[in-house]
Amino acid sequence: MASTAISLESVNKRYGSTVALDSLNLQVEPGEFFVLLGPSGCGKTTALRIVAGLETPTTGTVRIGDRVVNDIEPKDRDVAMVFQNYALYPHLTVRRNIEFPLRARRVSSHERERRVMEVAESLQLEDQLNRKPGQLSGGQRQRVALARAIVREPNVFVMDEPLSNLDARLRVEMRAELIDLHLKNGTTVLYVTHDQVEAMTMGDRIAILKDGVLQQVGTPKDVYDRPANTFVAGFIGNPPMNLMPGELLGEPGMIVGIRPENVFLDDNGSIETRVTLVESLGHEHHVACRLNYDNETIVFVRVPSTVSQVPGIGESIRLSITEPLYHFDSVTLERKAIKT
Amino acid sequence: MRTSVRTALRYVFLIIIALVVLFPIYIAVVNSLLSGQQIAHRPPTLFPLHPLWNSFSLAWSFGHLGTYLRTSVIVSVLTTLAALTTSVLAAYAFAFLEFPLKRIMFSLCLATLMVPAEVTIIPNFRTIQILGWYNTYPALIIPFAASGIGIFLLRQSFRQLPRELHDAAVLDGYGHWRFLVRVVLPLNRAMIGAFAIFAFLSSWNQYLWPLLVTNSDSHRTVQVGLRQLEGLNPDQQNIVLAGTILAALPIFLILFIFQRQLVRGLTAGAVKG
């Protein structure tokens, strides 16, 4: 077995003068659920399409298993892709959609039928086989798209924001289904999303990209507890980490980071602020406050719903903080050390 | 109440327009069933009490319409098939492939739409002469085997397919040809059908070109062949009109059968935006 399932080595992608990927290095282990996370336009979909073979890198090497696949046709890479908008063929029934890749590979009709039924059963699509995609709900369509990918029994799945078109509740359901599916068949998954909750809940490891540059790779706990720089610190976590100018052991030129759950409403606290926004989510409240001494910095506080007195907008409140504090260099924006 | 009045007015207006369009056709049908003297009679007869049905059989035999109609069907069907084939392939290339000078070549295709047909008649005629195609089917078909409007319409229609469908097919192992046949063509049925009807009608109604490049009855289309009937006496106008109606009948049939397809195809782009 290959030591890595997918490997990108110094991969660059340019469109004219625009740099979509800048010297990207990534190694995905076999059987891993690997998430590429970042804001729109960060290059995550480009990286995915390069792995699938739908784009060619400007420079760099792409391996799937032991093979360098730069010059290998997409169909011969043994990669199945799931698209954000499902990419189902609207004129074909669910059955024909699922068996579409098998027909291309000239699989016998008997074998086709067996595999379609097997996949349809595992995704609860048996009753929908003779319907057209237009007659299905969003969740069912995404299941058909998954079925079409799974039926190929590929080495690698690549998924491009497959849950973004679903409503919030369905998304949570499908998230669980995808994890379950991955646990069952153990195939390597490269998954692109801009939703940090998806990344944190589904990924074995997460790679965070910004402007085509890899910021950090690590387990969800790693990137949350030990963010490599202010971008990762601000991108992971909701509300985002509070970042403000500060100092470390007397050394100025630092940015200090504090997670909102480490900031508390405290009548005896040393930080004086004024409330600018309160968002109530039911199980907790997110309170945004402006520092009195520095009118520009907003501090987010996570207030559990068990706290009876939630401050109102415009109210002056005092805050206290607990560790951990994060320290970032104000020039390189990289994390210096953790003081715990 | 106000909207119902407005709707009524709209219908009255549409009925008047419809009458203006249909009246000449109606008069042609009526006159084809009257004798020459009845046609000349004033005030004109608007309803034939004793229709002369034999004018149609006379027109058919006297005008050799059978031969001409057969030629017209052969020419129009082959022209339509040729134009469809070239337009589908070119539109696919413009919609899905990347190649050098793509934009310039597409602009050239569009530019052919701006050139009036009369401008190309003489060079085309010279080409036909040089190729030795005078009085042959290729002379009637080949000059219309590629269509700028066809390429344009189908390319616009193909481009509305989501890019992901192409990506998915590529990953599933479908080459261009199978993607075209299995996905693009079925999903663009309406536009392809509309263009096919359009190409057939244009070919069927050609007059000047077939007149120029043929001189034998065996290769003349029905529109040209109708001139045979001009040799009849002035009091046999009913037979001329019967011949005209017979020549137009296939067109009416096609429009009647495919009108929904035609309207859907031509408005598809507008609705999908």
Residue B181 sits at the chain A interface (C-beta within 8 Å): no
Residue A313 has pLDDT above 70, yes or no: yes
Per the CB < 8 A criterion, the answer to whether A116 and A95 are in contact is yes
Alpha carbons B55 and A18: distance in angstroms, whole number: 75
Phi and psi at residue A219, to the nearest 5°: -70, 160
Q: What percent of chain A has pLDDT over 90?
A: 58
**Number of H helices and number of E strands within chain A?**
8, 19
| Per-residue pLDDT reduced to its tens digit, A182-215 | 998 889 999 999 999 999 999 999 999 999 999 9
- State the nearest Cα–Cα gap between A105 and chain B, in angstroms: 7
Q: What percent of chain B has pLDDT over 90?
A: 61
User: Cis omega before residue A324 (within 30°)?
Assistant: yes
Alpha carbons A235 and A282: distance in angstroms, whole number: 23
Residue A99 has pLDDT above 90, yes or no: yes
Residue A159 sits at the chain B interface (C-beta within 8 Å): no
Q: Assign B229 a pLDDT band (cuts: 50, 70, 90).
A: confident
**Within 10 A of B137 (CB to CB), how many other CB atoms are there?**
15
- Determine which helix (DSSP H) or strand (DSSP E) holds A292, and give its type and residue range: none
| Per-residue pLDDT reduced to its tens digit, B189-218 | 889 988 998 999 999 999 999 999 998 888
Angle between helices B65-96 and B148-159 (to 10 degrees): 40
Mean pLDDT in residue range B49-53: 86
Q: Are A87 and B167 a contacting pair at CB < 8 A?
A: yes
Q: At the topology level of CATH, where does B65-225 sit?
A: MetI-like fold (1.10.3720)
**Within 10 A of A205 (CB to CB), how many other CB atoms are there?**
19
What are the residue boundaries of the structural domains of chain B, listed by start? 1-62+231-248, 65-225
Alpha carbons A138 and A160: distance in angstroms, whole number: 16
Chain A residues whose beta carbon lies within 8 Å of the beta carbon of residue B178: 104
Residue B272 has pLDDT above 50, yes or no: no
Residue A75 sits at the chain B interface (C-beta within 8 Å): yes
pLDDT at B29: 92
**Number of H helices and number of E strands within chain B?**
15, 0
Return all residues near A250 (Cβ < 8 A) that are at least 6 apart.
none
pLDDT at B270: 42
The average confidence (pLDDT) of chain B is 89
pLDDT at A2: 61
pLDDT at A337: 66
Q: Are A91 and B164 a contacting pair at CB < 8 A?
A: no
Residue A69 has pLDDT above 80, yes or no: yes
Candidates A15, A76, A100, A150, partner chain B, best to mutate (most B CBs within 10 A): A100
Chain A residues whose beta carbon lies within 8 Å of the beta carbon of residue B160: none
- State the nearest Cα–Cα gap between A162 and chain B, in angstroms: 12
Residue B164 sits at the chain A interface (C-beta within 8 Å): yes
Lowest mean pLDDT among A61-65, B23-27, B64-68, B261-265: B261-265
pLDDT at A167: 86
Mean pLDDT in residue range B9-35: 94
Residue A105 has pLDDT above 80, yes or no: yes
**Within 10 A of B176 (CB to CB), how many other CB atoms are there?**
16
Mean pLDDT in residue range A68-75: 93
Candidates A45, A49, A83, partner chain B, best to mutate (most B CBs within 10 A): A83
Structure tokens at B165: 């469908």
Chain B residues whose beta carbon lies within 8 Å of the beta carbon of residue A89: 165, 182-183, 187
Residue A164 sits at the chain B interface (C-beta within 8 Å): no
pLDDT at B49: 84
Q: Are A91 and B168 a contacting pair at CB < 8 A?
A: no
- State the nearest Cα–Cα gap between B162 and chain A, in angstroms: 8
| Per-residue pLDDT reduced to its tens digit, B76-99 | 999 999 999 999 999 999 999 999
Residue A320 has pLDDT above 90, yes or no: no
Q: Are A53 and B174 a contacting pair at CB < 8 A?
A: no
pLDDT at A339: 47
Lowest mean pLDDT among A145-159, A295-309, B74-88: A295-309
Q: Are A101 and B187 a contacting pair at CB < 8 A?
A: no
Q: Are B168 and A85 a contacting pair at CB < 8 A?
A: no
Residue A72 sits at the chain B interface (C-beta within 8 Å): no
| Per-residue pLDDT reduced to its tens digit, B103-125 | 999 999 999 999 988 899 999 99
Return all residues near A178 (Cβ < 8 A) that are at least 6 apart.
A146, A162, A163, A202
pLDDT at B21: 94
Candidates B172, B176, B189, B272, partner chain A, best to mutate (most A CBs within 10 A): B172
ipTM score for this prediction: 0.82
pLDDT at B266: 60
Mean pLDDT in residue range A222-243: 91
Residue B273 has pLDDT above 70, yes or no: no
CB pairs under 8 A between A and B: 52
| Per-residue pLDDT reduced to its tens digit, A78-93 | 999 999 888 999 999 9
From the list A168, A92, A163, the residue with the least C-alpha distance to A128 is A92
* Residue with the larger pLDDT of the pair B181 and B49: B181
- State the nearest Cα–Cα gap between A156 and chain B, in angstroms: 12
Q: What percent of chain A has pLDDT over 70?
A: 98
Mean pLDDT in residue range B31-55: 86
Q: Assign B267 a pLDDT band (cuts: 50, 70, 90).
A: low
Residue B146 has pLDDT above 90, yes or no: yes
Q: Are A83 and B172 a contacting pair at CB < 8 A?
A: no
Nearest CA in chain A to B168: A87
The average confidence (pLDDT) of chain A is 90
Mean pLDDT in residue range A213-242: 93
pLDDT at A208: 96
**What's the whole-model pTM score?**
0.81
pLDDT at B105: 96
Nearest CA in chain B to A51: B171
